[in-house]
Amino acid sequence: MNPKNTWILIFVTAGMFAFIFFIERHQRETTPSATKALVNFKAASITSIQIQPAGQLEMRATRTNGSWQLTKPITYPAQSVAIESLLRALETLSVQIHIPTQELRKNPKAEEEFGFETPQVTVILQEGNNRHSPIKFGFLTAPGDQVYLQVVGTEGIDVVSSDIIKLLPRTLNEWRDTNLLSLKGLTFDRLAVTNGGRSFELSRASNRLWRITYPMPARADSSRVEGSLARLESARVSRFVTDDPAADLETYGLKPAEFEVTLSQGTNPVLALQFGKSPTNDSKQIFAMVKGQPAIVEIPKEFIAPWRARYEEFRDRRLAGPVPLSLETIEVHQSDKSTDFTIQKQSTGAWRVNEPYNFPADPETMLDLIDGLSGLEIVPAAGQFAVKDVVSASDFPKYGLANPVRKYILKEGMTKDKSNPTNVVLAELDFGSTFEDKIYARRADRPDEDSVYAVKQVDFERLPSKALQLRDRHIWNFTPADVSSVTVRNDGSSVKMIRKAENQWSLASGSQGIVDNFAVEAGADELGSLEAGSWIDCGDQNLAKYGISDKSTQVSVEVRSGNQNQTLVLDLGGWSPSQHRYGAVRLEGQTWVFEFPTRIVERILYDFNIHEKPAS
């Protein structure tokens, strides 16, 4: 039978007589209004609590730095919530019936009959150096919903709700903290895992990022390390096995420990957790203990599963890792240097290509670039994490990394050295030769990282290799209401259409043809939101290469901008190898060549009734 139920039955049986003899005779003594059982008692001020259950070991807990610690019969973290709940209940405990001293004197066996001769539970509270009078709990009343309470040194006996009994621990384990460990307030920057004959060590830098320091230096997956620590911290004790300091540790697989996790600050260990065998009747549990403490407990195996992995599983699989918000510059270098470019973050947060061109970068493309760099994953090669973990510079040609095909250098703000102000390199990613469906890569910014890795070639090819790939694809931005006229040049002749009002267009003097008002209005709207499919070239020197000349089909739009008119010109060129039409516009004083999405070209030709001759 449950010890708690047995204890309650004893209360009920032993207290029945007292209830009949005293309580029913003195119902008139019921307090007219709620009176606190404990006068001048503040739960928040209590620093120590002592519990003495009948026939059990005395328990004592002490409040230290806002949390509770069991100090007797063993030293062990306590369940602070349970203790605080009891203290708050004692603070608000109200007297339901009071039996005065003069009534008790009429019965020489009152102490025995109310259960105070051998109290079932005695509670002693301490506030700093001030020890409160002991609180004795006697028998339950006959119905069982009330209990007799006596504060030593005060007159009479009180009858209070028996709910308070439910908050009193019967055994030590009821107040023991079931958390295996707590990392709150624990300072550590080293972590060592020993798993049989295998071991590895990690260290955490001031930027909170973890590195593997043994058996080889390598970047660690900090999110995995922190997640594994959080998983371990969430472990709950399933059963307290023994507190015997002379227990045979070998029986539990704890001498030597089969598995150990040690946290240290520098070279000083601050916490060591040891894990042993599983109980013979439950393979999902495992014996555990905190090194240096006698308590042996059982916890579910699942909480330590992440730490059973090999150290390679904790290596950072991202070539660059998370890109910090402090990123200010991205340099892209090619092996032939001909298409190198630099992207700079502006004070507004927008990005701009400033070498060799000067234009705003497309926001979505920049997000894709940064996400692509930070998410670029290392893939296994020949079953190993790295192609080769230690590679000397003399071996770089073998992987095409002596003169990388492409490199991305990520930088943040200037160094604090005023005599030599340079940007701080966050990462340099070098890419070399391809093999199978992969490409060789390395972190060239880390002298302590000599590994050559493999990444998927398809992921590499998604990264922009030319500055023009980053230009904002929006070309023009106006509405039909801003348009004064549209002029179309095709096959040696020109037609000018003047906008009178919404969906009302007319031919200018000297122009011939038929005007479809709604189609021309739609065409003006299409031009107002014109976008490039992709940018191809900049400058006038190669226009002929793209089929653009003074005889090309051309659409000119006269747009009102404030008090001035501006003429915007679109030239249609030939066809690209990808079967898209070339176009050219002038922006910021330069000619820019781009590829049209086919559907947009078709709509412009249709809306403005342009019939081009087939290319000869």
Q: Give one DSSP letter per residue of 106-149, joined into a string.
A: T-TTHHHHTT-SS-SEEEEEEETTEEPPPEEEEEEPTTSSEEEE
Provide mean pLDDT across the span 376-400: 94
pLDDT digits (tens, 9 = 90+) for 431-460: 999 999 999 999 999 988 999 999 999 999
Looking at the structure, do residues 166 and 297 belong to the same domain, yes or no?
no
Quick check: is 320 in a domain? Answer: no
Specify the pLDDT at position 339: 86
Looking at the structure, do residues 110 and 200 belong to the same domain, yes or no?
no
Provide mean pLDDT across the span 120-149: 94
Helix (H) or strand (E) holding 38: none
Q: Per-residue confidence at 196, pLDDT binned at 50, 70, 90?
A: confident
Final residue in a domain of this structure, among 446, 467, 488: 467
Quick check: is 184 in a domain? Answer: no
Specify the pLDDT at position 138: 96
Q: Are 133 and 56 in contact (CB under 8 A)?
A: no
Q: Which one is predicted more confidently, 480 or 3?
A: 480
Domain that holds residue 255: 190-314
**Residue 332: strand, helix, or coil:** strand
Looking at the structure, do residues 279 and 381 belong to the same domain, yes or no?
no
Looking at the structure, do residues 215 and 308 belong to the same domain, yes or no?
yes
Task: Examine the pLDDT at 22 and tell me if it is beyond 70.
Answer: no
Q: How far is C-alpha 321 from the chain's CA centre? A: 14
Q: Are 464 and 585 in contact (CB under 8 A)?
A: no
Q: At a CB cut-off of 8 Å and minimum separation 6, what does 166 contact?
A: none
Looking at the structure, do residues 26 and 171 belong to the same domain, yes or no?
yes
Looking at the structure, do residues 266 and 153 belong to the same domain, yes or no?
no
Q: Are strands 590-595 and 534-538 parallel, antiparallel or unpaired?
A: antiparallel
Task: Examine the pLDDT at 264 and tell me if it is beyond 70.
Answer: yes
pLDDT digits (tens, 9 = 90+) for 277-332: 999 999 999 999 999 889 999 999 999 999 999 999 999 999 998 888 899 999 99
Q: The CATH number of the domain where 525 resides is what?
A: 2.60.40
Quick check: is 474 in a domain? Answer: no
Q: Per-residue confidence at 5, pLDDT binned at 50, 70, 90?
A: low
Rounded Cα gap, residues 603 and 592, in angstroms: 21
Q: Per-residue confidence at 274, pLDDT binned at 50, 70, 90?
A: very high
Quick check: is 505 in a domain? Answer: yes
Final residue in a domain of this structure, among 175, 209, 230: 175
Q: Per-residue confidence at 185, pLDDT binned at 50, 70, 90?
A: confident
Looking at the structure, do residues 553 and 404 belong to the same domain, yes or no?
no
Helix (H) or strand (E) holding 234: none
Q: Are 582 and 594 in contact (CB under 8 A)?
A: yes
Name the domain count of the chain: 4
Looking at the structure, do residues 239 and 354 belong to the same domain, yes or no?
no
Q: Per-residue confidence at 413, pLDDT binned at 50, 70, 90?
A: confident
Quick check: is 182 in a domain? Answer: no
Rounded Cα gap, residues 289 and 257, in angstroms: 10
Looking at the structure, do residues 154 and 197 belong to the same domain, yes or no?
no
Rounded Cα gap, residues 284 and 195, in angstroms: 18
Query: Quick one: which of 591, 603, 596 has its CA closest to 579?
Result: 596
The fraction of the chain above a pLDDT of 70, given in percent, is 93
Specify the pLDDT at position 564: 86
pLDDT digits (tens, 9 = 90+) for 557-598: 999 987 888 999 999 999 999 999 999 999 988 999 999 888
Q: At a CB cut-off of 8 Å and minimum separation 6, what does 95 contact?
A: 31, 34, 35, 36, 37, 158, 159, 160
Quick check: is 11 in a domain? Answer: yes
Q: Per-residue confidence at 616, pLDDT binned at 50, 70, 90?
A: low
Quick check: is 473 in a domain? Answer: no
Looking at the structure, do residues 7 and 122 belong to the same domain, yes or no?
yes
Q: Per-residue confidence at 6, pLDDT binned at 50, 70, 90?
A: low
**What are all long-range contacts of 312-317, with beta carbons under 8 Å and residues at least 24 apart?**
312/385, 313/224, 314/200, 314/202, 314/210, 314/212, 314/220, 314/221, 314/224, 314/225, 315/212, 315/218, 315/219, 315/220, 315/221, 315/385, 316/218, 316/219, 316/220, 316/221, 316/222, 317/221, 317/377, 317/378
Buried-state track 258-287, b at ≥16 Cβ within 10 A, e below 16: bbbbbbbeeeeeebbbbbbebeeeeeebbb
Looking at the structure, do residues 9 and 152 belong to the same domain, yes or no?
yes
Quick check: is 614 in a domain? Answer: no
- Strand blocks (E) in 132-214: 135-140, 146-151, 157-161, 190-195, 198-204, 210-214
pLDDT-wise least confident of 9-13, 200-204, 292-296, 366-370: 9-13
Final residue in a domain of this structure, among 175, 205, 232: 175
Q: At a CB cut-off of 8 Å and minimum separation 6, what does 206 contact?
A: none
Looking at the structure, do residues 567 and 602 belong to the same domain, yes or no?
yes
| Mean pLDDT for the chain overall | 91
The fraction of the chain above a pLDDT of 90, given in percent, is 79
Rounded Cα gap, residues 557 and 565, in angstroms: 10
